[in-house]
Amino acid sequence: MDRMVSMIRDLMQEHTPDQKLGAVVVGAPGPLDSETGLIYEAPNLKWKQVPLREVLQEALQVPVWVDNDANLAALGEYTYGYPLEFEVLLYLTVSTGIGGGIITNGEIYRGIDGGAGEFGHMTILPRGPVCGCGNYGCLEALASGTAIARVAREEVSQGHLRALGESVKGRLADIDARLVAEFAAKGDPEAARIMEEAMGYLGIGVANLVNLFNPRAIVIGGGLSGYPGLLDRVRQVVKDRAYSSLSRNLKILPARLGNKAGLMGCRALAEIKLKSQN
Ligand SMILES: [Zn+2]
């Protein structure tokens, strides 16, 4: 947190030495309370019950808001990626994990406890692989980069995926989803099958979202979203599985802001908050 404060101060010095900073918005991993800016738990940072908003506000003496990073990415794509084109938009990020955000009528939908949009943790296979959240067969455990790497490691250790295994000289820890995607793109049939299976599960997850939310658009971003054919595969599964009356006017689209989606969402939220204060 000290580092965040000093970085913000450095940026202010560098870019706006003569102006007063209007607000700071932080995209943080959840679960958190966006009203109070309290982070309940952030396992990757080993944080528990951290009052991030309070601490930053005191140090910087400007209004601070804290929200879930995937929610902010959704708001970013809604506001700047596809500027206000879709009144009900779902955002899905597929990288090492799978996160999501829900925009309805131009606002982030957070649910009662602020945790809505955890698309990665819908159960797809009841007896599937264990997920980071402790459940079994979550979408994230089947279709994320981590899941793809896990399947590839299992296959290599069983003597399959020979070429890929040789390329890392048997070091299983060096296998990641990017490598599997690379081999699949080069025409390795086993790697392609792993990618195909993951995309199929992703499609099932998205089809569930279509039936649940009947959105106008589903925007898919994250490191894996650029894999060739991913969007078409998801579109096909949605066509096969979701209610056709709900998917007829649906657009499944690539994220336009890349890894700036969260940042642009912070800007959008700052504007909304400051406007509502005036
Ligand atoms: Zn899970």
Distance 100 CA to ligand 1 centre (A): 13
Q: Is residue 225 part of a domain?
A: yes
Distance 129 CA to ligand 1 centre (A): 10
Q: Are residues 120 and 7 in the same domain?
A: no
Q: What's the first-to-final CA gap in the chain, in angstroms?
A: 29
Q: What tokens does 139 get?
A: 């979408």
Q: Is residue 194 part of a domain?
A: yes
Q: Are residues 59 and 130 in the same domain?
A: no
Which CATH number do you get for residue 223?
A: 3.30.420.40
Q: Are residues 15 and 143 in the same domain?
A: no
In tens digits, the chain (278 residues) has pLDDT values of: 899 999 998 988 888 777 788 899 999 987 899 999 999 887 778 889 999 999 999 999 999 999 999 999 999 999 999 999 999 999 999 999 999 999 999 899 999 888 899 999 999 999 999 998 899 999 999 999 999 999 999 999 999 999 999 999 989 999 999 999 999 999 999 999 999 999 999 999 999 999 999 999 999 999 999 999 999 999 999 999 999 999 989 999 999 999 899 999 999 999 999 999 87
Q: Are residues 88 and 132 in the same domain?
A: yes
Q: Are residues 110 and 28 in the same domain?
A: no
Distance 216 CA to ligand 1 centre (A): 26
Distance 82 CA to ligand 1 centre (A): 29
d(CA 254, CA 7): 31
d(CA 107, CA 275): 14
Whether 74 and 108 have beta carbons less than 8 Å apart is answered as yes
d(CA 114, CA 110): 5
pTM for this entry: 0.92
Distance 60 CA to ligand 1 centre (A): 36
Q: Is residue 261 part of a domain?
A: no
d(CA 206, CA 35): 29
- Checking phi first, is residue 134 left (phi over 0); if not, alpha (psi -120 to 50) or beta? left
Distance 178 CA to ligand 1 centre (A): 22
Q: What angle do CA 241, 243, 248 make, to 5 degrees?
A: 110
Q: What tokens does 257 get?
A: 């802001």
Q: Is residue 270 part of a domain?
A: no
d(CA 70, CA 186): 32
Q: Domain of 115?
A: 83-255
Q: Is residue 22 part of a domain?
A: yes
Name the domain count of the chain. Answer: 2
Question: 33, 75, 36: which is closest to 53 by C-alpha?
Answer: 36
Q: Is residue 102 part of a domain?
A: yes
Q: Are residues 95 and 220 in the same domain?
A: yes
Q: Are residues 122 and 57 in the same domain?
A: no
Q: Is residue 278 part of a domain?
A: no
Rounded CA Rg of the chain: 20
Q: Are residues 19 and 129 in the same domain?
A: no
